[in-house]
Structures are given as structure tokens and as C-alpha cells.
């Protein structure tokens, strides 16, 4: 194993510190992603040609939708991490559940949490929940991209030991060169999905088929995550699930892929669009 590796960039996880108040890159990534999502979803719902008369949230609904989604992401991400990745530790120290500043969030848990939040929002507003899912799927990749960049800055969720020439020695690690798996995920789960969905939405009009956009998002995300998991260091408290290869991220992503495929089949078959009430 060569001793050479790329120098880790000297970027502090804390952007600004004013006395007891600190603004971290990770928090800024969340806020920026949410603001972008709010702006982008408003733009989508205001563009009539994308919908062919399909009922969707009004622009004035998006503020409320953002609040619901934020709660879903935070609560779901936290509970998902507790249940999927570290249940035994939190069972022994339940007060740690509330100490979110110590870290511990699950992307798959965030997906589940925001899905529940969007379902409840849709029921209250009389909307097709799949249409609301599609809107969030269009915007979420930008948040994923920023979040993975923040993971890299924090020196967390890094990859396995490697001899590739672009390896990094991460702070607070064992000093060995490792895959920058956060950057792989930023590119595949963020930029790639956004690059695929954007022309499909604006040129091919896939929002007219409820569930198709979120199905495409879920399938690409699952494939990308499974691929990256082959070089990402498993969470130490979980390790490998079977055969020294399968990880929790792979398992949850495989389930996501199956659900996404079912949604895509139903959407392409026209079985997810409700008939619009006659005027």
C-alpha cells in the first residue's frame, strides 16, 4: 500500500463561529438545499405546460409543504439511523436520541420520514401524493449533492482503504488512504440524478404521469448507492450483514429499487393518474 495520498483540503467543518453560536457547512448544506427546493418546486407548479391540467399544489402551498418535508427529513433521518444503524446503543442511552448535534442521520430514514409527511400533506390538501413525491424528487438531488459535500468537509462517511491515486487521508481516521466515497455519492446521487430528471421533466413531460419522476429518482439512487457501498466503509457498529459484502445501505437500497420499479411500471401504464373532476 503506497504511503502517498492527496492532501485533505484544509477546510474547517465550521464556517462561522460567533461566541457560542457556530454555523457549520453541514447545516448550511441542509438550509441551501431546502431553499433551492422551495424555489424550484414553485417554478415547477407554476409552469402549466408540464402538467396537462393535472392537479398539483398551488404556489402558495409550497411554504407549508417545505415545513412538512423539513420535519419529515429531520425526524425520519434521525429515527432511521437509530433503528437501522445503532438501535442497541440508543436503547442503552435513550437521551442520546435527542442530541442530534452529535450526528447520526440516515438518508433512507429521511426518505421514509418525508414520504409520510408528504402523504399527510396531500391528504389534507386533496392532492395525489405521487404528484407531491414527484415534485420533491425533482428538487432533492441538489440537497443530496450539497449534503455529501458537507460529509466530505466533515471527514465522515469515508470509503475503504485503497491505492487509487485520488485517495485521501481523512482527519481523525486511521491515517490510511481511503476512497472519497462522499464525492462519489455527491456526483451519482446528486448531480447525475438531477441531470437525468431535469430534461425528462422539462422536455419529456414526465410530471404528467404521477409517480414516474420519483420512481426514476429511486431507481437511480438505489443503483448509485449500491455501487458506492462497494467502496464505502460500513458503519463500525453494523459492519457487514452477510458474506463480508452486503451492507445495510445495500439492503435498504435494494428495497428502494423494487418499490421504484413498481411505481414506474404503474405510472407508465397510466394507473397512477386520478381522473380530474369534471367542471
Model confidence over 10-53: pLDDT tens digits?
888 887 877 777 778 888 898 899 899 999 999 999 999 999 88
* Whether the predicted pLDDT of 121 surpasses 50: yes
- Assess if residue 10 is contained within a domain: no
**Contact residues for 271 (Cβ-Cβ < 8 A; gap 6+):** none
**Contact residues for 179 (Cβ-Cβ < 8 A; gap 6+):** 158, 159, 160, 162, 164, 167, 231, 232
- Assess if residue 256 is contained within a domain: yes
Q: What per-residue confidence (pLDDT) applies to 16? A: 81
**Contact residues for 207 (Cβ-Cβ < 8 A; gap 6+):** 44, 50, 51, 54, 56, 131, 134, 135, 138, 201, 213
Counted domains in the chain: 1
- Assess if residue 109 is contained within a domain: yes
Write the pLDDT tens digit of every residue in 214-271.
999 999 999 999 999 999 998 776 778 877 788 988 998 999 999 999 999 999 998 8
- Rounded mean pLDDT of the chain? 87
Q: What band does 277 get if pLDDT is binned at 50, 70 and 90?
A: very low
- Assess if residue 200 is contained within a domain: yes
Q: Give me the mean pLDDT over the 170-188 stretch.
A: 94
- Assess if residue 276 is contained within a domain: no
- Assess if residue 11 is contained within a domain: no
Q: What band does 104 get if pLDDT is binned at 50, 70 and 90?
A: low
Q: What per-residue confidence (pLDDT) applies to 1? A: 43
Domain that holds residue 22: 16-268
- Assess if residue 5 is contained within a domain: no
- Assess if residue 153 is contained within a domain: yes
Q: What band does 94 get if pLDDT is binned at 50, 70 and 90?
A: low
Q: What band does 177 get if pLDDT is binned at 50, 70 and 90?
A: very high
Q: What is the pTM of this model?
A: 0.86
Amino acid at each position: 500500500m503506497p504511503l502517498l495520498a492527496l492532501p485533505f483540503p484544509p477546510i474547517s467543518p465550521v464556517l462561522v463561529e460567533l461566541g457560542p453560536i457556530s454555523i457549520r457547512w453541514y447545516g448550511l448544506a441542509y438550509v441551501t438545499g431546502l431553499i433551492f427546493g422551495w424555489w424550484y418546486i414553485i417554478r415547477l407548479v407554476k409552469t402549466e405546460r408540464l402538467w396537462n391540467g393535472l392537479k398539483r399544489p398551488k404556489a402558495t402551498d409550497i411554504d407549508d409543504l417545505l415545513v412538512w418535508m423539513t420535519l419529515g427529513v429531520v425526524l425520519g433521518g434521525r429515527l432511521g439511523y437509530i433503528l437501522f444503524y445503532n438501535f442497541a446503543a440508543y436503547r442503552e442511552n435513550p437521551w442520546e436520541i435527542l442530541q442530534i448535534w452529535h450526528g447520526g442521520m440516515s438518508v433512507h430514514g429521511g426518505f421514509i420520514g418525508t414520504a409520510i409527511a408528504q402523504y399527510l400533506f396531500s391528504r389534507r390538501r386533496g392532492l395525489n401524493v405521487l404528484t407531491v413525491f414527484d415534485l420533491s424528487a425533482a428538487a432533492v438531488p441538489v440537497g443530496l449533492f450539497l449534503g455529501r459535500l458537507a460529509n466530505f468537509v466533515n471527514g465522515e462517511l469515508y470509503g475503504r482503504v485503497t491505492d487509487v491515486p485520488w485517495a485521501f487521508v481523512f482527519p481523525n481516521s486511521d491515517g490510511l488512504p481511503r476512497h472519497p466515497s462522499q464525492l462519489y455519492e455527491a456526483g451519482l446521487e446528486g448531480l447525475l440524478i438531477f441531470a437525468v430528471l431535469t430534461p425528462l421533466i422539462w422536455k419529456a413531460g414526465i410530471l404528467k404521469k404521477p409517480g414516474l419522476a420519483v420512481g426514476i429518482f429511486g431507481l437511480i439512487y438505489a443503483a448509485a448507492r449500491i455501487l458506492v457501498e462497494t467502496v464505502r466503509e460500513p458503519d463500525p457498529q453494523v459492519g457487514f450483514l452477510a458474506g463480508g459484502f452486503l451492507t445495510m445501505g445495500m439492503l435498504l437500497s435494494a428495497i428502494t429499487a423494487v418499490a421504484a420499479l413498481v411505481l414506474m411500471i404503474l405510472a407508465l401504464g397510466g394507473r397512477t393518474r386520478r381522473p380530474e373532476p369534471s367542471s
